[in-house]
């Protein structure tokens, strides 16, 4: 934690003997950012800048002990893993304090009068992110400021991009967002239509989709619904009519079979009676043959009728199966389309927030490049680890950085603490221009 009792304000003077609130007021009064509504970063005491933390690389020399001499890195928990003594907690200590601690641990039963030299051989780099030409990590040098770090990263704005290109990106992002919104309306209308088809309803309405565009989409889906419903009814109706015709034909064949079966019985009776006459010598053999021939013809007709009935039953079954397959096929297609539409709707709804953020980011970049009104200047934030605790705060261009600091440069929104009013074309209303923005652009832009 920083000691709020002693600060060095930006004018180089020290604030001593003040309370926390008074110290903040006095120190901020001298800051050039006080007029801009940003909290300046007080320069930390000298000893704070030399405290060790995770990631620092140390060179340790133990006189006469080559096995102990070498380079060591402070691990994630703030320890040095040393031979003989094991882990030594050095996080939050200065290199001199760490050297004394290591010497004490070595003299505690391991060595006698050990001579130890411990120095910081490599400090953690600083990281510059956001609206710079070359985001990345850069080697720390004592006295490095935010302005110097941004200069190392190539400048605080994308200077090689023209205003026309930035405006094109804003228009493309706005068009992308508009397309996603229309796609969501279309997918939702299609979902309502498919759900109505799946449930077998004759129509569908929606109270959630309002407006001229939604109404047009609903009318189009209603037309598709009517056409597909009529097509399905027509296809299934034709198959049903064929099944009914076959059933009528089967009834007629059954009646014919009953009549022919009666004829078979009559001819068989005639054959039996004339056979008795022939056996008694009262009948002619030729007439007997005619009777048998007639009986055989009638039996053949009965067999033909049975074959027609069998073919009729087979055709009826096939058509009934086709009718069911047609109905089930339409239902399966509707369910598959409904599932695909739901998946597309989920993807579209997931993409909408990203598209909105992209549009807002590009609009702020355009405004920060003096090409629009959605932002006012640049905002610089520094994330610093103090005693294993990360703290993020606003910083000025002259703020002194420490090893491991993460500098985030981004366009600042309009107004201090209030959201800009939306304009008719979706852009934010103009706001006061920050004084830090032109300074940052002119000071760090690469020629």
pLDDT (tens place) for every residue of the chain, 447 residues total = 333 333 333 333 333 333 333 333 333 333 333 334 444 444 444 434 567 888 888 899 988 888 888 888 888 888 888 888 888 888 888 888 888 998 888 888 788 888 888 888 877 889 999 878 788 999 888 888 988 998 898 776 555 555 667 788 889 999 999 999 999 989 998 888 888 888 888 777 777 777 788 888 888 888 888 888 888 878 888 888 888 888 898 899 899 889 888 888 888 888 888 888 877 777 777 888 888 888 888 889 889 989 998 998 888 888 888 888 888 888 888 899 999 999 999 999 999 999 999 999 888 877 776 554 444 467 889 998 776 678 899 988 888 888 888 999 876 655 444 343 333 333 333 333 333 344 444 333 333
Give the DSSP letter of residue 8: B
**Residues recorded for the chain:** 447
- Grouping H, G, I as helix, E, B as strand and the rest as coil, residue 93 is coil
Enter the tokens of residue 441.
């652009």
> Cα separation of 386 and 48, whole Å?
9
Determine the pLDDT at residue 177: 92
- Grouping H, G, I as helix, E, B as strand and the rest as coil, residue 130 is strand
Q: How many CB atoms lie within 10 A of CB 365?
A: 22
Distances (CA, A) of 365 to 72, 90, 152, 420: 43, 43, 20, 15
Pairing state between β 126-130 and 406-413: parallel
- Grouping H, G, I as helix, E, B as strand and the rest as coil, residue 394 is strand
Determine the pLDDT at residue 442: 38
Determine the pLDDT at residue 320: 86
Residue located via tokens 């261009």: 397
Residue 262 sits at the vertex; the CA angle it makes with 258 and 267, to the nearest 5 degrees, is 145
Enter the tokens of residue 369.
């490049």
Beta-strand runs (E) in 25-135: 57-62, 70-73, 79-82, 86-89, 116-122, 126-130
- Grouping H, G, I as helix, E, B as strand and the rest as coil, residue 20 is helix
Determine the pLDDT at residue 221: 85
> Cα separation of 337 and 356, whole Å?
28
Enter the tokens of residue 287.
């007439």
Q: What are phi and psi of 127, to 5 degrees?
A: -115, 130
Determine the pLDDT at residue 363: 86
Which positions ≥6 away from 422 have C-beta within 8 Å?
A: 428, 429
């Amino acid at each position: 934690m920083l000691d709020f009792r002693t600060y060095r304000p930006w004018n180089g003077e020290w604030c001593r003997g003040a309370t926390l609130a008074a110290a903040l007021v006095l120190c901020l009064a001298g800051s050039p950012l006080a007029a801009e509504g940003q909290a300046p970063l007080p320069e930390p005491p000298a000893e704070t800048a030399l405290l060790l933390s995770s990631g620092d690389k140390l060179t340790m020399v133990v006189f006469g002990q080559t096995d102990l001499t070498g380079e060591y890195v402070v691990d994630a928990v703030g320890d040095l893993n040393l031979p003989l003594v094991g882990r030594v907690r050095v996080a939050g200590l200065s290199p001199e304090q760490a050297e004394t601690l290591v010497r004490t641990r070595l003299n505690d039963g391991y060595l006698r009068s050990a001579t130890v030299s411990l120095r910081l051989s490599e400090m953690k780099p600083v990281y510059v992110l956001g609206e710079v030409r070359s985001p990345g990590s850069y080697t720390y040098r004592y006295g490095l400021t935010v302005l110097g770090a941004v200069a190392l990263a190539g400048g605080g704005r994308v200077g090689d991009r023209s205003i026309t290109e930035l405006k094109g990106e804003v228009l493309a992002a706005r068009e992308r967002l508009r397309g996603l919104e229309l796609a969501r309306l279309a997918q939702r209308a299609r979902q309502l239509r498919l759900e109505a088809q799946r449930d077998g309803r004759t129509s569908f309405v929606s109270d959630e989709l309002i407006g001229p565009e939604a109404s047009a989409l609903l009318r189009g889906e209603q037309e598709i619904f009517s056409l597909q419903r009529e097509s399905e009814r027509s296809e299934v109706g034709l198959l049903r009519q064929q099944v009914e015709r076959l059933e009528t034909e089967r009834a007629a064949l059954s009646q014919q079979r009953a009549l022919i079966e009666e004829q078979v019985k009559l001819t068989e009776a005639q054959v039996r009676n004339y056979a008795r006459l022939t056996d008694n010598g009262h009948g002619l053999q030729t007439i007997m043959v005619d009777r048998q021939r007639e009986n055989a013809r009638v039996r053949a007709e009965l067999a033909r009728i049975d074959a027609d009935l069998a073919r009729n039953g087979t055709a009826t079954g096939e058509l009934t199966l086709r009718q069911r397959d047609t109905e089930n096929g339409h239902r399966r297609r509707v369910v598959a389309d409904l599932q695909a539409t739901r998946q597309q709707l989920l993807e579209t709804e997931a993409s909408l927030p990203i598209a909105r953020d992209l549009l807002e980011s590009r609009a702020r970049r355009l405004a920060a490049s003096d090409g629009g009104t959605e932002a006012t200047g640049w905002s610089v934030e520094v994330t610093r680890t103090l005693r294993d605790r990360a703290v993020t705060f606003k910083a000025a261009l002259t703020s002194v950085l420490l090893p491991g600091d993460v500098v985030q440069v981004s366009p600042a929104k309009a107004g201090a603490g209030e959201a800009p009013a939306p304009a008719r074309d979706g852009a934010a209303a103009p706001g006061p221009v920050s004084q830090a923005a032109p300074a940052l652009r002119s000071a760090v832009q690469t020629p």
